Amino acid sequence: MRKKTTTSTYQPGQSIDSVMKKYGLRNVVKLASNENPYGPSPKSLAIAKKISNSVNRYPDSKCYDLKYNLVAYINKPHIKLNNIIIGNGSNEILELLARLYLNDKSEVLFSKHSFLVYKIISNAMHATIVETKPKMSQGFGFMGTDLSELNKKITKKTRMIFIANPSNPTGTILSVKDLDDFIKTVPKRILIVIDEAYFEYSEYMGMTNCIILLKKYSNVVITRSFSKVHALAGIRIGYGLGSDKIISNLDKIRQPFNVNYVAQAMAVESLKDKKYIKSSLISNNDGMLYLKKELDKLDIKYLDSYTNFLTIYLGKNANDVFEKLLENGVILRPLDNYNLKSYLRVTIGTRQENISFIKSLKKIMSKINA
């Protein structure tokens, strides 16, 4: 569906404080924003305290230390310092890419139910948005990106394609082979942005990340985040990977000192603390299995997920369940903004948070089904 720019506003999950005040609660569980409930690595917290007295100085505008550590972390010969850009969250890099490639004469493609930021930044550049149909056949990838539909919508005006992999808010994923086969058919003038904000989770679940595609294609950029498994959402830091030329062009239009001093240092220490990150991934997997088991008992359907959240189907009861969960001190994410009014998104929390959610959900569903 082709449409000119319209107003889209990102709506973050409700805050714990606001729900406490509204419902007079003492304890609230927030499972709305796909945050790591275990917090940052102890090593990254320690470095933040250590350097706090130095924040009167400007940060390294080039983020050299973090880039060096990312090269070592990624450990691929085709990824060097000049293939990396650091941003104030991966959202900043997505916005820079839109500024570089889009204008009022261009078209941008992404699947329906994709991350809302793609629409926001495309609107800001007055580009024509083309949303394609998601996969509608039941089974693996249901409601995720349909690459054949994307291919059908490519025109002479197409300048960018956004693909979240895994996708938010659906949690679905595409194989690297399928993406490779798709990219082969796309004209080289079109930039393909693969958003891998959740790739650590999907890797732990046995899927392969898309880094190899950068070796084969100069028109591919991968964006990644420290907000999810690294638990640094509050300090805003992410990175992008691409060809020397694209990264150089992005560097020319980014703001100097766009990434703060503490964020850079915490990200470096988090990359080094592999033991802690693995522990977070294990806990997330255990929580995912627990929620799936309990949702199965309640006969509540959910989409395939290779992330740290599940998108659950509640049909006409979705809004009522959301409101009643709030009254019980559990915050989930309604998906009206994504045209998924029959679904709610639940972040995998700590064991106790997951138990609290299921306990409240069981009570609510028993009354609905009575």
How does pLDDT run across 193-211, given as a tens digit for each residue? 999 999 999 999 999 999 9
Mean pLDDT of 73-98: 98
Mean pLDDT of 97-106: 98
Mean pLDDT of 293-318: 97
How confident is the model at residue 89, as a pLDDT?
97
Task: Report residue 67 as tokens.
Answer: 């880039």
Q: With a cut of 80, say whether residue 68 has pLDDT above it.
A: yes
Mean pLDDT of 326-354: 96
- Please state at what angle helix 42-51 crosses helix 261-272, rounded to 10 degrees: 150
pTM above 0.85, yes or no: yes
Q: Residue 304 in 3-state DSSP? A: coil
Q: With a cut of 70, say whether residue 170 has pLDDT above it.
A: yes
Share of residues in the chain with pLDDT > 70 (%): 97
Q: With a cut of 60, say whether residue 145 has pLDDT above it.
A: yes
Secondary structure element (H or E) that encloses residue 130, with its range: strand 128-132
Mean pLDDT of 267-291: 98
Cα dihedral 300, 318, 172, 200 in deg (nearest 10): -90
How confident is the model at residue 183, as a pLDDT?
98
Number of other CB atoms surrounding residue 147 within 10 Å: 22
Number of other CB atoms surrounding residue 352 within 10 Å: 10
Q: Residue 165 in 3-state DSSP? A: coil
Q: With a cut of 70, say whether residue 222 has pLDDT above it.
A: yes
Secondary structure element (H or E) that encloses residue 110, with its range: strand 107-111
Domains 2-40+275-368 and 55-273 share a fold: no
Asked whether the CA dihedral 232, 233, 237, 240 is positive or negative, the reply is positive
Q: With a cut of 50, say whether residue 7 has pLDDT above it.
A: no
How confident is the model at residue 369, as a pLDDT?
87
- Using alpha carbons, select from 248, 305, 236, 238 the residue that is nearest to residue 271: 238
Q: Is domain 55-273 in CATH 3.40.50.2300, yes or no?
A: no
Confidence of residue 61 (pLDDT cuts 50, 70, 90): very high
Q: What is the β-pairing status of strands 191-195 and 158-164?
A: parallel
Residue 86: phi and psi, rounded to 5, are -105, 140
Q: Residue 162 in 3-state DSSP? A: strand
Domain range summary for the chain, segments of one domain joined by +: 2-40+275-368, 55-273
- Please state at what angle helix 261-272 crosses helix 64-74, rounded to 10 degrees: 20
Q: What is the pLDDT of the chain when averaged over all its residues?
A: 95
> Looking only at Cα atoms, what is the longest distance across the chain?
62
Residue 188: phi and psi, rounded to 5, are -65, -20
Q: Which burial class, exposed, middle or buried, applies to 66 when counting CB atoms under 10 A from its CB (0-12, 13-18, 19+)?
A: buried
| Residue at 246: amino acid letter | I
Rounded Cα gap, residues 89 and 225, in angstroms: 6
Q: With a cut of 60, say whether residue 324 has pLDDT above it.
A: yes
Secondary structure element (H or E) that encloses residue 347, with its range: strand 343-347
How confident is the model at residue 11, as a pLDDT?
65
Q: What does 237-248 look like in DSSP terms, one character per residue?
A: -EEEE--HHHHH
Q: With a cut of 70, say whether residue 8 has pLDDT above it.
A: no
Confidence of residue 269 (pLDDT cuts 50, 70, 90): very high
Q: What is the β-pairing status of strands 343-347 and 333-334?
A: antiparallel
Mean pLDDT of 246-266: 97
Considering only 5-14, 36-45, 95-104, which range has the smallest mean pLDDT? 5-14
Rounded Cα gap, residues 295 and 290, in angstroms: 9
| Look-up of token digits 């204008």 | 103
Please say whether the beta carbons of 233 and 37 come within 8 A: no
How confident is the model at residue 71, as a pLDDT?
98
How does pLDDT run across 128-137, given as a tens digit for each residue? 999 999 999 8
How confident is the model at residue 9, as a pLDDT?
67
Q: Tell me the CATH number of domain 2-40+275-368, given options 3.90.1150.10, 3.90.79.10, 3.40.50.300, 1.10.150.130.
A: 3.90.1150.10
